[in-house]
Structure 1
Amino acid sequence: MISVNDFIPSKYSHSVEQGNFQWSAPSNIALVKYWGKKENQIPANPSVSFTLDNCKTITKLAFAKKNIDTSTSLSASKLNETADSISFDLLFEGQPKEDFKPKIQKFFERVEVYLPFLKDYHFTIDTQNTFPHSSGIASSASGMAALAMNLMSLEKVLNPDMTEEYFYQKASLLARLGSGSACRSVKGQVVVWGKHQNITGSSDLFGVEFTNTIHENFIDFQDTILLVDKGEKQVSSTIGHDLMHDHPFAERRFAQAHENLDKLIAVFETGNLPEFIEIVESEALTLHAMMMTSMPYFILMKPNTLEIINAIWHFRNETKIPVCFTLDAGANVHVLYPNSDKENVLQFIKDELVGYCQNGHYLCDQVGDGAVLI
């Protein structure tokens, strides 16, 4: 069994003075939700997600050894930082973003044991999203995954004998330590995170590609994201996860997630869309039920979230088109449907659902493959 100690390098065989990498990493949408976690970002239950394609973060990581003189844009003061500190500059869309820095600092401190070279370099992180920052789409998963991929590219220079399997497993592990769901944004179209007895190779430490059969019904599956509320969430996901520790329904919920993941294994093989819809919508509502029954309790859905859900149910009953919804820990609605029904569903969205979106905004996406080196 793989343990965290397997990802702690003993020494590096090569060295590098300076350079840069650039990766893009997508967001993802969970079908079976993870809600509740243990120490060190370990999930209380397994989850499975579709990797998205268009909603992604693009991050460039430049690095230079602190003990070298360079004519690059890195200032002398930065290069002379003390050797026992982690130093970095952070740019968002080309501009300094100081309020993002504490989260990145915390991430670096968490992963330092796995990346002992971190204190040897000064880093410049320049990141941007392909979706508007104020769109209400969580960017922590894509952002942390993109940063983890860049750091692993640097480690691969230092240790060129690294296998591809190790590279992606460790990248996912690092991403998880930045944002739990980020481990599902590294590689694969359908990704499982969390140990599950019927999924070979599944792990609490990193996400793995779903290697069982996937029916053609789910190839090029579409996800149109309806932006009901583009503001910041009233309650952070971290607080929400913590409230599961004393939740009266927690143990039953964790068992339900295992059961639903089992059902999805069969659904992905047979292409059973009605059962897929039943599981996915139930999971979304259960996630929000856990929030509404915690102490303190909270509601992240908005009135227009419910209007959209009811409209989707009515449209599906009338047309028999297999369209469904899922939700993250927020008010926005992900509308999921087969590519073969794209034209009809998009017309329905334009005719009936856009009015429930803030400023009429929505994003069109589909299932993608994971992070890409640019």
Structure 2
Amino acid sequence: MTEIDFILKSYNTDIKGGSVKWESPSNIALVKYWGKKENQIPENPSISFTLTDCKTITEVTFSKKESNNFSFDIYFEGEKNEAFKPKIQTFFERIEVYMPFLKDYHFKIETSNTFPHSSGIASSASGMSAIALCLLSIEQKLSYTSNRGDLSYFDKKASFLARLGSGSACRSINGELVVWGKNKSTESSDLYGVKFDGKVHENFSNYQDTILLVDKGEKQVSSTIGHKLMYGHPFAKERFSQAHNNLEKLKTILASGDIKAFVKVVESEALTLHAMMMTSMPYFILMKPNTLQIINKIWEYRAENNSNVCFTLDAGANVHMLYPENEKENILEFIKNELVIYCQNGHYICDQIGLGANQIGF
């Protein structure tokens, strides 16, 4: 599908208002996306696990108005939040061509997270995807077109819109594994996320993700700025090529069930992501001392116990521990005994692979 396919051609102007509510999960990339072109197009493909419990819950109430401008209020965790308005304004400007009704209504956006905001758990992914899903449900209420009952179209447009709010948000619509970015080894698109089309061995069923919250504060450098620093980066070309190769490797690994090989690719990708940050200009480090302590503890534990646990990182200090479900009891004991001391206020979140977003209100 192309951008033109997502333009709403006509809609019912008589509907006065209503409300919709969605919950949308975060996701954790296995092959990382870092660097983007114009219009939120990725420089390299990525693949991610969709999570279950780390999610954003968003309700959008809309009411008819007369003025020809964007009108919206945002409430985060029950409090009116002006800081989020510029990002939503930019989002509305980007998607207006696809949703021409946006200036016809005032929108009250009420949102909350089940996890700390802006701490490297992809809150923008869950947040922007939840808003995109709400707006698309509103579009369906207004639309005359035959696409209203087409779930495939709905998912693709939701992912397409979410991408224009936050690149990684396009991977939060579906689960369990989602690919974003054109590549030769999987079905894919630069415009929206696509459910992974390859075989997945039972070794990766119900895979666990325990997130160790090393730092729950705002990141020193936003992901938006970090992506821009890939322009002119001395290692950018090799990094983009590496991502294509690692995605091809991972497709084979997921089919074979080779968890040892999975660990190598996933940890290498995490470290490469942060290496790009440390070698950009200006350079920056988002890992904290406790991030490194945890990584080394994981390596020691894996070697001593013949475990399949591994780590990955988003653009932040927190550590995602990925492991098979049959190791859950032992890993949680390991966390309580040896890793919780490195977590801010002893906090960590237990999660697992999920199936994507859900509508919870009409």
Alignment of 1:134-283 (within 5 A): 137-159=121-143, 161-162=146-147, 163-200=150-187, 202-283=188-269
> C-alpha separation between the residues in 1 aligned to 2:308 and 2:14?
54
Q: How many Å apart are 1:346 and its aligned residue?
A: 0.6
Q: How many Å apart are 1:211 and its aligned residue?
A: 2.0
> C-alpha separation between the residues in 2 aligned to 1:253 and 1:136?
21
Matched, 1:324 2:310: yes
**Aligned 8 A contact 2:30 2:47 in 1:** yes
Out of 112, 118, 121, the position equivalent to 2:102 is 118
> C-alpha separation between the residues in 2 aligned to 1:23 and 1:137?
19
Unaligned runs of 5+ in 2: none
More displaced, 94-103 or 259-268?
A: 94-103
> C-alpha separation between the residues in 1 aligned to 2:49 and 2:120?
19
> C-alpha separation between the residues in 2 aligned to 1:279 and 1:369?
23
Distance 1:199 1:15, change over 3 A: farther
> C-alpha separation between the residues in 2 aligned to 1:316 and 1:16?
59
Q: How many Å apart are 1:13 and its aligned residue?
A: 6.1
Q: How many Å apart are 1:6 and its aligned residue?
A: 1.6
Query: Which residue of 2 is the match for residue 95 of structure 1?
Result: 79
> C-alpha separation between the residues in 1 aligned to 2:358 and 2:22?
6
Matched, 1:345 2:331: yes
Amino acid corresponding to residue 75 of structure 2 in structure 1: L
Query: Which residue of 2 is the match for residue 53 of structure 1?
Result: 52
Unaligned runs of 5+ in 1: 68-81
- Cα RMSD (Å): 1.3
Q: How many Å apart are 1:128 and its aligned residue?
A: 0.9
TM-score (structure 1 length as normaliser): 0.93
> C-alpha separation between the residues in 2 aligned to 1:134 and 1:166?
31
Q: How many Å apart are 1:132 and its aligned residue?
A: 3.7
Deviations 1:245-281 (A, max 9, x none): 1011101100000000001111111110000000000
Query: Which residue of 2 is the match for residue 24 of structure 1?
Result: 23
Matched, 1:104 2:91: no
**Aligned 8 A contact 2:263 2:310 in 1:** yes
> C-alpha separation between the residues in 1 aligned to 2:316 and 2:277?
11
Query: Which residue of 2 is the match for residue 63 of structure 1?
Result: 62
> Sequence identity, in percent?
66
Alignment of 1:25-44 (within 5 A): 25-44=24-43
> C-alpha separation between the residues in 1 aligned to 2:203 and 2:162?
30
> C-alpha separation between the residues in 1 aligned to 2:284 and 2:64?
47
2:154 is paired with a residue of what secondary structure? helix
2:9 is paired with a residue of what secondary structure? coil
Amino acid corresponding to residue 365 of structure 1 in structure 2: D
**Aligned 8 A contact 2:178 2:193 in 1:** yes
> C-alpha separation between the residues in 2 aligned to 1:235 and 1:135?
11
> C-alpha separation between the residues in 2 aligned to 1:9 and 1:136?
34
Query: Which residue of 2 is the match for residue 356 of structure 1?
Result: 342
Deviations 1:103-146 (A, max 9, x none): 11111111111100101111111111112447653311100000
> C-alpha separation between the residues in 2 aligned to 1:257 and 1:249?
12
> C-alpha separation between the residues in 1 aligned to 2:42 and 2:116?
29
Amino acid corresponding to residue 281 of structure 1 in structure 2: E
> C-alpha separation between the residues in 2 aligned to 1:337 and 1:11?
48
> C-alpha separation between the residues in 1 aligned to 2:80 and 2:282?
36
2:97 is paired with a residue of what secondary structure? coil
Q: How many Å apart are 1:165 and its aligned residue?
A: 1.1
Q: How many Å apart are 1:15 and its aligned residue?
A: 5.0
Deviations 1:301-350 (A, max 9, x none): 11111111111001000101100000011111000000111000110011
**Aligned 8 A contact 1:244 1:250 in 2:** yes
> C-alpha separation between the residues in 1 aligned to 2:176 and 2:357?
11
> C-alpha separation between the residues in 2 aligned to 1:141 and 1:368?
15
